[in-house]
Every structure is written in C-alpha cells, then in structure tokens.
Structure 1
Amino acid sequence: MKREALFLRMHEAMAAALGPSGWWPAETPFEMAVGAILAQNTNWANASRAVANLKGSGAFSARGLCGLETARLEELLRPAGHFRVKAARLRNLLDFVVRELGGDIEALGNWDMTAAREALLAVRGVGPETADSILLYGLGFPSFVVDAYTARICARHGLVPEEAGYDELRELFMDALPADAALFNELHAQFVRVGNGWCRPRGPRCGACPLGEFLP
C-alpha cells in the first residue's frame, strides 16, 4: 500500500474511534506559541496552569511579558516545571517576536514557511517540535509535527527504524501527504491520543488500539 493511502486509512480509523481532537487548545496564536514552550518536557495540564498564570498577570502580550522581571516570570511559570529554563526560553521567543515581528507573532504567518521555520529554529530553546507546533497549530502552515508518540507508533508499525530522527519522521509524512494543515493538525493530535491511550512505552494495548489492524 502506498504511504499516502496508508496514512489516510490510519487517519480515518482513528477518527472513527476517537472523534475530533480539537487541538491545540488556545484562544490565539500567541497563546499557542507560549504554550508550546511551556509544554516542553511536561504534560499539557501543567503547562496550561502556567499559561493561565501568565494570562492572569495583566501582561499577556509579547511586549508585556518581556517587561516582567525574571523572578516574577519564573514564579508564574512554576507549574510547568523547569521554570527557570522555560522562563529563559520564553524570553528568547518573546524577544524574537518583538524584534522581528513588531510584537505580533501572527506576522510570521506572512513569511514563507521554510524561512519562518528557520527563524524559529534560530531562537535558542526552540527545537523542531516546538517550531513545527507553532507553525502548524498557531499559524496554519502545513508543517507536520513529530513527537515521541508519533515516533513510537511509526516504529511499532514498521514505518521507520526505532532510531529514526526527527527530520526523517517529519519527511515521512511531508513527502507522502498533501500539504494540508488541517490534515496534519488532526493526524498529529490523533497520534498523541493513541500514544497516550494505547501505544504506551510499556504494556501497549495493541488488541484494542484503533491502529491495531495496521500492525505488520
């Protein structure tokens, strides 16, 4: 089976079992980008508490958060864990938004996708997953997001070797599928949900998994 047909069938199987994902849960592209930084190395529940703190600070804008003292910013980010590291990474992103985008991250949506991705990756603390999340979920670019769930599912289904890196996995989907942001959005979210519910690192529940029929 061709890769495009396989991925679309997997997408349909997950949609039938799970329903719509409604991801990313943010009200604005700026909130989404902030959340992408805070979700690094933690679950969304913890990150969302830190986002709520920022929104309640009265300074929830790129320029406003840049104006907060470091100690205050760190305290607001404490629920997300690694709050000192994340405060530094968030400030780096905020500085980029203010300096290069006039304080409005949505202006990045007017850039060429490749140039926008390179600019985000040049921000210290923004890795490929975070950059692609901002591009896809925040700005509507067709840039597929890869995470540990995607990697585990693809390896267990024999689509890539276990040691496959981020770029190899991203290209697997980018090359096989049409450049459709809505499709990429939902497919990635479905992989996260399946990875959480069935395709676990230990004790995977393959028999009940929505993707069980696709196992080699």
Structure 2
Amino acid sequence: MSGDVPVMYSDTGSVDLRSTMDIQITALEWMPFGDGYLKYYPDTDEDVYLEQTQDGSLIVRPEKYRERVLSEFDYPLDQVYHGENELLLRLKEYYKNCWALKLHDPYISLIITILTQNKTADSARKTFHRLQHHYKGIDVYKMASADKKELEELIRTSGPYKADFIIRCSQEIIDRWGGSLEWMRTAPTQEAREALMSLYGVGPKTADCVLLFALGHSVVAVDTHICRVSERTGLSLATGDSEAAKRRVKEDLERKHRIPGMAHLLIINLGRDFCKAVLPLHHECPVEDICPKRGIRKEKGLGLIEE
C-alpha cells in the first residue's frame, strides 16, 4: 500500500470525516490508522486506507477502490430531520458535513456492536480488524464453529468473555433463522427487536444499533451520552442513566418528539463535541442560547458542572 500514489477527490462534497467516522456503528469497520482509517475487504483480501487532507479532500489508497469507498457515504445529516424542534433543526445545519454511512450486513453489525459493549469504539475497531484478517472475513458459520480459546485470545482487548456471546448467538441465528438476519429488515420493528434481544449476549442498545444501522428501522439507540444530552437540553424529563431512565429517554425521543432514528446522531455529536459530562463547553455550543441546561449548576471557579 505504501507504494500507491494518493488519489484526491471530493465526489461526496464537503465531508467531515472525523464526525462521520466517530458516531455510528457502521463506521467501526474502519480502524484508525495514522492520520486516517483502514478497512479490510475480505473479498479481495486487501486493506484500504482513507484520509482527509487539510483542504477537505479525501485520499483513498489503493486508487482502484475509489468508487467503492465513496459509495459507502450515503447522505449528509442535514437530511435526517424535517420536524419543528428548534434544537434539532439547528444541530442538523451545524453538522451538515457529517454523513451517514450506508447500511451494512446485520450480522457484521451485530458482532461489532457486541465488541463495543463496555469498551471504547477504538478498542472494538482494532479487535474487529484483527478478526477479519484472521478469518479472511467473518460470517455466522465461521463464528458459530470458532474455537473458543482462540477467539478469546483474538478479542482479549475487547473482553474475552464475549467469545461465548459471539459463538452462542451465531449458533442460535443458524438454528432459528437459517443463518440470516435479513428477514428482520421487513419485519415489524418490535418483532425484530424482541428477536434480537432473545439472542445470547444481546441487550436493548445492541439490538437497537443493529436495527438502525443495518436493518433500516427508525429506532433510537440510547446510552449514557444520549441520556445526559437529552436531559440537559430538555428533550427528555428523565434524569440519570439507569435502565428506567434510558427507557424513558427512548420513549420521549421516539414517541413524544418523533425523532427519526438517524437523527439521534446529531445528539451524539453534540454530546461528544460540546455537552461533555464534566465542564460542558457552553461558550462554544451551537445551541447554548436555547438550551435549558437541566441538571447543571454554577460552581465558582469551575464554570458550569453537573449536579
């Protein structure tokens, strides 16, 4: 790969690659590498490198993957919300250069999401890249028959205990549905969600991530960050991040505000960039003037902190 000549292009328009790659399960197939990202394509047994230059152009190496890589960018986030909530309208304009990536294989999405459970995204990315290389591409049959001790070692940095999750849920997918989750694409959302949650090692957030990022269902995947930002901005009256609070936040976002699933990426971006757990950056926040700042108080000498 080092001998390839960088190819510059901007077919996707103004893409904020960092935002695009940091907030969605689909992007975790791309592993941080140098100043960019690396993805393994099993069908060609090659790694592909993607980077953004200072002028915003995208570099892809090898050049022959140009169209394939760019085709994975689906649409910018200014298309994810068309309601009347002022906060979301402002956020979709602010993050208009962040893109949603195309849906991918639901089984791959399931495995990546399991790897993220209680771990950082970067840890999951490295582990997934290692798995892909070791097995020359993973699928439900390879994982169902994987050697448990070998798999534990391969995923050690993301939690060796998850080997049991991966093997058992893969076997269940084969036994119940002939090895495919594709039927869930057209199934009622609640039916598909319950089916996913019946798999060993799959909880509410994991199920919602697969439904949203792989199967096209409009659900909000709620975690502690979504809870925090939703509380502070008044999108939800729930407090804290208990399981009960997460259920309330999910109901408020999906039913009360009717927020499309992909629009919750705007909330994640806000939490990551400005609405931080400790000392949120109010002076820089794009919605500072309309945010009620619930659950935050002033502390002399420290600025605004969480109560």
Please indicate the TM-score interval, normalised by the length of the shorter structure. Answer: 0.7 to 0.9
Q: 1:148 to 1:161 in 2, by over 3 A?
A: same
Q: Which structure: greater strand fraction?
A: 2
Name which one, 1 or 2, has greater alpha-carbon Rg.
2
Write the distance in 1 (CA, Å) between the matches of 2:166 and 2:206: 12
- Retained in 2: the 8 A contact 1:21–1:190? no
Select the residue among 210, 218, 227 that pairs with 1:151: 227
| 2:181 aligned partner, one-letter code | I
Pairwise CA RMSD of aligned residues? Answer: 2.2
SS in 2 for 1:188: helix
Alignment of 1:46 with 2:123, yes or no, is yes
2:301 aligned partner: none
Q: Structure 1 unaligned runs (5+)?
A: none
Select the residue among 138, 150, 153 that pairs with 1:60: 138
Q: 1:75 to 1:23 in 2, by over 3 A?
A: farther
Write the distance in 2 (CA, Å) between the matches of 1:42 and 1:26: 23
2:238 aligned partner: 161
Alignment of 1:171 with 2:251, yes or no, is yes
SS in 2 for 1:202: coil
- Retained in 1: the 8 A contact 2:219–2:261? yes
2:55 aligned partner: none
How far apart are residue 178 of structure 1 and its match? 4.7
Q: Structure 2 unaligned runs (5+)?
A: 1-82, 293-307
2:53 aligned partner: none
How far apart are residue 129 of structure 1 and its match? 0.8
| 1:101 aligned partner, one-letter code | W
Give the number of equivalent residue pairs: 205
- Retained in 2: the 8 A contact 1:59–1:65? no
- Retained in 1: the 8 A contact 2:144–2:166? no
Q: Deviations over 1:109-168 (max 9, x none)?
A: 232211111111122321111111111111001122111111001111233131452211
Alignment of 1:103 with 2:179, yes or no, is yes
Superposed counterparts of 1:1-216, under 5 Å: 5-6=84-85, 9-23=86-100, 27-56=104-133, 57-58=135-136, 60-80=138-158, 82=159, 84-158=160-234, 159-163=236-240, 165-178=245-258, 183-185=260-262, 187-216=263-292
Question: Percent same amino acid among aligned pairs?
Answer: 23
Q: 1:175 to 1:27 in 2, by over 3 A?
A: closer
